[in-house]
Structures are given as structure tokens and as C-alpha cells.
Structure 1
């Protein structure tokens, strides 16, 4: 469970000094004390596999469907949505922009509610079901913008749930798998849209773009209802775990950070957690890094429209969107896997945006099909490979208390998506095929991510040196000292338990 210090690596997660180890063991459940280390590791592996099978797989499926539904707007436009609804001027861009009004308003309170009551198995599928129901119902009545304004998105809740089950060493790869759901959905979205556009246009008197919403919306509703019986709640509130498994799940997280994560709803102060997240300067540095990639990543919402500038037919355009997403998913997984294996974070966040910058430069300077398509194949992987590692970094840098982590995940996700309100206006049809304003903007925002990632690396390096200097204090902190540590962005018992930030 504990990383070793003094190996020459700067990427220390947990200092295995004797005092820290003794204190963690002192909190170990009784049944674990009677086991050998090999038996404990075997039980932990079985628990992680059990959670992977139910939580991780289900979240990936939910996220694939979520993005299929949300990104259908671009495919629907190619299938004639704007013409059928008689959208003029910037009305289409406004429809897309309004989606994020509800998105932004609901992020922080949504995660606070989720953390307070500890029932994600009900809350997350409920959000998924409600969004699709409203979206499809209003689309059928040709009031697309109303459907978007009613949206409630639960992505930060899914991220919070991952960090409530997995240690810092485990969460990176799983966050990457989760986000690969969005990339896989982008790949399948083009294939599905091509099939529906080609085969169901006008079937039963219904336009092809309406069939997109009907078919994929029905599948999403089914999965949302099914997931209520599969997704776990929090380690202490999941009914299908044995009592021993609950204790192990809670203890392993405590051993990872040095503090308990979530006890019950009475111990979850929503406002205190939000205050800690707002007042920790590291929250805002992370926001700067993530905002750049979120803003550049808005290109995926309009990917079929950007692809249409290559001059191919509607069906060919939709099919051409698949390879860039698959390449992106592969790059995301490789980068996240290597980040977890090495324990390094800065380079895994800062290097991928350089690939994206090169891709945008190619797209801006080249109008040939080959050049533009190569750029498209590089930009998604370049953006999302660093983005996913940076998202996982939130729970590494702001791990405790749980209410703070929940608030930080929601706050950063919320504010980083402010860009989604204005970015639709960077992709008008008249800007095709080079989209100079959009690609120039994306290039600059990728550079912004590199800048903030560098600042974070410097700041955390200094904090780790501060913790090194304070190590050796064997007296347990008072509650007042724990509160002071939290106010300064450290887990409450970090000093005596050997916590170090990943760099």
C-alpha cells in the first residue's frame, strides 16, 4: 500500500516510515490483523475486481451512451435537423450553447447532494434518465433549445464515485477508461449515424435525425434503469458487499491518504467542503490547466461539421469521424497507464497538448484532404490524453475531506465548461474548412494548459519539501491542527502519516 521513500524518485505517494505504518495498522480492521500480508493483498485484489466489474464497466457504458446522446446534435445537423427546424443564422449554435447553462448551474450542488446522502446508485442513473427523457420529448415537439436548457449532467458525480473506491495509484487508469467512453462513443456515433441516415431516412414518415434521438434515447433509458441495480454506492453504504468487504474498502482508502474518506451522511458538511475547495489555491491552478483542454476539446462537439469541410458526402463524413476517436482512445490509455506506472504527472499532462498544438498548426496551414485528416487524427488524442490525467490529478491534490474533493471536482468541471457557452460560435459553416478562429483559439488554450501545469509542478514540489522538513513529528495532530492543514490544502493528518503530492 505504501510507496518507498529514498528511492531517488520525486513521485512519492506514501512514506512508509515506522510511525506512519504503526498508526495505519492500528486502525486496521481486526479480521485483517489476523491475515498474512499475502492474504490481505489477495482479498484486496478480489475486492477491486468486484468493484471494477460493477462500477467501472457500468460507468463506461453509461458515459458512452451519454456522449452518444449529447453529440448527436452535430450528426443530426448533417442529417437535416437545421433545415427541418428552420434554424436561421446562429440559432443552431445557440441550441448547443444553451445545453451548458443547466450543466454549469447544477455541477457543484449536484455533487454536494451526492456526497451528502451517499446513494450514487440512485442519483446518477436518475440524472441520466431525466436528461434523456426531457431531451427526446422536446425534440419531438421541435423545441430543441428547451431540451438542452433542462439538462443535468452527472459526470463530476461519476468522477467522485471513482475516487471514493480507488486509491491514488488506481484511479488514473480507471479515469482514463471512463473517459475513453466518450471517445469510443465518438467513434461509434459516426458509424451509427451513418447507418441511420442511410437506412432510416423517412422511415414511417420520420426524419433520419429524429430516428437518431429515438433509437439512442431509448437505449439510454434502458441502461439508466438497469444501472440502478448494478452500480455500488459508497464503501460504507453498498448493500451487496459483505461487512468485511465494506471495512476493507474503507480502510484501504484511509491507508492511502491517512484519513477516513466517508463515514455517513451526518459527517458530510456540504458547505464546509465547498468552502475548503473555494479557498484552496490549488483548485484554481487545476482549473487553469483543465480549462485549456476543455475549451480546445469542444472541437469534438462539432467534429462531424469540421469533417464535412473535407468535401466528402454525408455518409462518408460520418464514417471518417471514427478513426480519429479510436486513435485518441489508444493515446489516452497509453498515457494514463504510463502515468500510473511511473507515478509521474507533470509530463503526462504537459506533453500531449504539444501534439494537439502541432495538429492545429497543420489544420490551419494545410487545406489538402490528407493534411487536414492527419491533423484531425492527432488533435483528439493530443487534447484528451493530458486532460484525463489532469482530471485524475484533482483527487491526488485535493483528496480529503471527501466533501472538499466532491466540491472541487464539481467546481473545476463546472467552470472549465464555461467555454462551452461561447465555443459553438467559433464553428459556423462559413468558417469551413480551416476554422481559423476556432483552431487558433484551441492552439492558444493548449499552451495555457502547459503553463498552468508547470506552475502546479513548481508549487507541489515546494509543498513536498515543506512536508519533508516537518516529517519526524510523531505527535498526532490536534483537531485544530488538522483543520489548519486542510485550510492550507493538505489532508488533515498529512504531516504525521507521510503523505506526499504526486509530481
Structure 2
């Protein structure tokens, strides 16, 4: 695309990422409040259809401005997907199951990312010049075609939530048992989408604690590592285009292993903090190598690949939110959406000025890898110790206030 459209020093790739993020920032929190009143079986597949149409339109785009507009629209509607599915998972599974189930869902995205690399390599080899179009345009057409059966599947098979499900493949006993499982943990759906929702959200501790955690995760820029990895491989002038597409898929393989492994470990431990701390130490090692930069190519390649462990933070944080927000479905939905939006908002200027694609892969002028390393250390400490401390502090205070009210029968004001 860069060569065909004469993209060059304008950091077009970074701006395409930025406009996509702006769309997700605006759409995420509102999309996840909507899902508490519109059935997920209708809302999520409909958003998929709309954003896939915008993806299809990209095959006709010829200027950077056209790509920016389309990427914004894609982000706006795609923002419903990740927090929406995580919200639904939180409706069905118990606290001791959430990390694994969240990981299994996110892993599907990782596998899709890996498949995308192989698809790009195959399209470059087999579709270049077909119909008078370069292979990268065919990619957007195939992307849309793959989305159609997924949307149809969602309309017919997505189960909604245990308290609203009409899934034909569940009998009444199974539906009732699903409701009992979450109600036994005190997580029956409470709250309504009314005027009180803003006060409930503003006074909650979860919205702030988890927004900080997700922001620190995005500021590592780990989600762009495959792009930077590919740019570095291309700069070596030792690999073919299919190899440049295929080799970075190893990042997805590491992501897959860590998501499944950490989800299982955190559910068995009943704690997510120690698992996050361990992964943070590995990330610190990898980013230290990339910050040094002047190391052997083999060590650098190992660092790029192992940074793939970063992805396990998203299902761990999603499971954490679902477990700590209890039965307030609007609070839980909003926190899942807003933490993503805040995280994407803070990463836009960081990615543009510290890790611009025009200076990839070394970022010598901006010292981008060093800045990202600082946020990796902050992420390690916040998720390793900070979230657990905040949970104990605020929930302990809430329990004490509740006990005082019950003991004295008084309307006592206290911290949210």
C-alpha cells in the first residue's frame, strides 16, 4: 500500500491507527451501555455488519484522507465488540472461571491476527494483479466476505445473557442453572439505565483503578509490536514479502500460550496480581533489549517475539472488572468500555510522538522504546500490587460501612 499510494514521510500508518482509536474512544462506553438494554444477539452482529461494510469500502480508497475517514468509522462500530463480549461473558461465568473464559475469547482475536498474516502472504502470492488490482485491495474484500457468515451466526446463535436468553439450544433447567450460578455469588443483574447510572459510575472506584491499569497497558504500545516487527524485518533487506508477513505471526503464538496459561493460573490461584507481576517482569526484560537496540539481530528478534506475552493483560483485566463490579450491570458494562477508551485516548499522542511509524523500528530520535519501558515498569507495579491494594481498601471500607448501618440502623455516608 505504501508503495502503490506513494505514502512516505507523513506517518500515514500511525495516523490510520490514530483515527481508528478516536472512533473506539468515542464509541466504546456508549456501545456498552446500549448492550444493557438492546439484546447482545442483535447489537453485536449489527455493529459487525456496519464496520465490515466500511472495511469493504477501503478497497476503493486512494488517498490517506479517505483511509482516515474509513478507519474512524470502523473504530466507532468495532468499539462495541471487545467490551461487549466481555460484558456477556461476565454475565455467564463465575469469578473462578472468568479469566480463562476471557482469555479464550481474546485468543480468538490473536488467532485471527495470525491468520491475517498468512492470508496477506497468500493474497500477495496469488491475487497480485487479479482484476487489475494489487493484492492489498483484495484483502479488504476478503475481510468483508469473512464477516458475513460470522454476523449471521451471531444473529441466530448468540445466547444474550442468562436472564434474557432465548437460545433454542438451552432448555429451561439450563437457563435457570446459569442464573443461579451468578446469583449465588451476589452478582444477580441489578441497576437500571436511568439517571442514577451517572452517579453510580462517578462514585465507583473501579472506573478509575481499571482505567489506569488499561492505560498503562496501552502505553507500552505492545499492540503495535507486529507492525514494528515487520518494519524491522523489512529494513534488514533479507526477507521476502511473504516472510515479512509470516514471521511476525510468531508473536501471536506467544500471545496464545500466555493468554491460556495466565487465565488458567489466575483462576486456580484466585488472584490476578501475582500473574500480572510475573508477565510484567518478562516484558521489562524484552523492552530493555529493544531500548538498548544495538544488540544482535537474534536477541532483538527474540525480544520482538516474546513481547507477545503482553496480550494476556486484556483478559485478566476484563475478568477482574467482571468479578469486582458485582451485579451492577451498567457499572460493569461502562467500566469495560471506558477503560478501553481512556487507554486508547492516552496512547494516541504517545504513539504519534514517541513511536511514529516514520521513525520505526529503532525510534532513535524520540527514544520511544525507553519511554515504553517506563510504562512497562509502571504497569508491572500497578497490576502486580496496586489493583489488589485498591480492591482491599475500597471493598473493605464498603463492608465496614454496611456493617455499621446494619448495627446502628443509621444512614451513614461514606466512601463509594
The TM-score range, normalised by the shorter chain, is: 0.7 to 0.9
Q: How big is the shift at 1:368?
A: 2.6
Query: Counterparts of 1:150 and 1:476 in 2: how far apart (Å)?
Result: 54
Query: C-alpha offsets along residues 43-65 of structure 1, whole Å, 9 cap, x if unaligned?
Result: xxxxxxxxxxxxxxxxxxxxxxx
Partner residue, 2:218: 294
Q: How big is the shift at 1:222?
A: 2.4
Structure having the higher Rg: 1
Match of 1:146 among 27, 50, 69: 69
Distance change (3 Å), C-alpha of 1:472 and 1:105: closer
Instruction: Provide TM-score, normalisation by structure 1.
Output: 0.73
Distance change (3 Å), C-alpha of 1:140 and 1:281: same
Matched, 1:334 2:265: no
Partner residue, 1:98: 19
Query: Counterparts of 2:254 and 2:200 in 1: how far apart (Å)?
Result: 38
- Once structures 1 and 2 are overlaid, which stretch shifts more, 85-94 or 206-215? 85-94
Query: Counterparts of 2:381 and 2:246 in 1: how far apart (Å)?
Result: 36
Q: How big is the shift at 1:474?
A: 12
Q: How big is the shift at 1:97?
A: 1.0
Do the aligned partners of 1:289 and 1:448 also contact (CA within 8 Å) in 2?
Answer: no
Instruction: Provide TM-score, normalisation by structure 2.
Output: 0.87
Aligned residues: 398
Matched, 1:408 2:328: no
RMSD across aligned positions (CA):
2.7
Query: Counterparts of 2:94 and 2:202 in 1: how far apart (Å)?
Result: 24
Distance change (3 Å), C-alpha of 1:140 and 1:478: farther
Do the aligned partners of 1:328 and 1:377 also contact (CA within 8 Å) in 2?
Answer: no
Distance change (3 Å), C-alpha of 1:255 and 1:242: same
Match of 2:284 among 357, 377, 380: 357
Query: Counterparts of 1:478 and 1:164 in 2: how far apart (Å)?
Result: 33
Query: Counterparts of 1:301 and 1:271 in 2: how far apart (Å)?
Result: 43
Q: How big is the shift at 1:472?
A: 8.0
Do the aligned partners of 1:125 and 1:224 also contact (CA within 8 Å) in 2?
Answer: yes
Do the aligned partners of 2:209 and 2:390 also contact (CA within 8 Å) in 1?
Answer: no
Do the aligned partners of 1:235 and 1:250 also contact (CA within 8 Å) in 2?
Answer: yes
Q: Unpaired runs of 5+ in structure 1?
A: 1-80, 489-503
Q: Unpaired runs of 5+ in structure 2?
A: none
Match of 2:193 among 241, 264, 269: 269
Query: Counterparts of 2:376 and 2:253 in 1: how far apart (Å)?
Result: 21
Q: How big is the shift at 1:405?
A: 0.7
Do the aligned partners of 2:103 and 2:315 also contact (CA within 8 Å) in 1?
Answer: yes
Partner residue, 1:114: 35
Partner residue, 1:247: 176
Distance change (3 Å), C-alpha of 1:214 and 1:390: same
Q: What SS does the corresponding residue of 2:174 show, helix, strand or coil?
A: helix
For 1:55-454, what aligned pairs fall within 5 Å after superposition? 81-88=1-8, 89-117=10-38, 119-142=39-62, 143-151=66-74, 152-153=77-78, 154=80, 155-240=82-167, 241-256=170-185, 258-261=186-189, 268-296=192-220, 297-300=222-225, 302-303=227-228, 304-311=230-237, 312-365=239-292, 366-381=294-309, 383-422=310-349, 423-424=351-352, 426-428=354-356, 430-436=358-364, 437-453=367-383, 454=385
Query: Counterparts of 2:357 and 2:402 in 1: how far apart (Å)?
Result: 59
Query: C-alpha offsets along residues 154-194 of structure 1, whole Å, 9 cap, x if unaligned?
Result: 21111111101111111110111111122222222221111
Q: How big is the shift at 1:419?
A: 3.5
